[in-house]
Amino acid sequence: NAGVTQTPKFRVLKTGQSMTLLCAQDMNHEYMYWYRQDPGMGLRLIHYSVGEGTTAKGEVPDGYNVSRLKKQNFLLGLESAAPSQTSVYFCASSYSSSSGANVLTFGAGSRLTVL
């Protein structure tokens, strides 16, 4: 059971370049998320999806786009990378437990550096 898999794990970009981060989950979860984590700022939600074919903006969506063409995949795109997008990106998927908790399972993270 792989859980949530993110690729790539590391990437260095030059300002203005584009790239896509890939996230795949094998738990049949409906909900998927992209967070970024910066020192001292915790986890901030970029975009999320409540199901195949749907996406919505989170707290910090500017400069990013997402797509959820298949239930198991959630892609995060940077069309024109900026140094401010240097961060660690986490993908997560979730289900609701019997207690009502929204339990997120995170991928291992993708460390992106924009020069």
Partner 1 sequence: GQSLEQPSEVTAVEGAIVQINCTYQTSGFYGLSWYQQHDGGAPTFLSYNALDGLEETGRFSSFLSRSDSYGYLLLQELQMKDSASYFCAVRDGDTGFQKLVFGTGTRLLVSP
Non-local (6+) Cβ contacts of 53 within 8 A are 68, 69
Distance of closest approach, residue 14 Cβ to partner 1, in angstroms: 25
Q: Is 91 helix (H, G, I), strand (E, B) or coil?
A: strand
For partner 1, the binding residue among 84, 96, 113, 115 (CB under 8 A) is 96
Binding status of residue 77 toward partner 1 by CB under 8 A: no
Q: Which of residues 1-30 bind partner 1 (CB under 8 A)?
A: none
**φ and ψ at residue 91, rounded to 5 degrees:** -100, 150
What's the chain's Rg over C-alpha atoms? 14
Which residues sit at the interface with partner 1, rule CB under 8 A? Answer: 31, 33, 35, 40-45, 48, 50, 56, 58-59, 90, 94, 96-97, 99-109
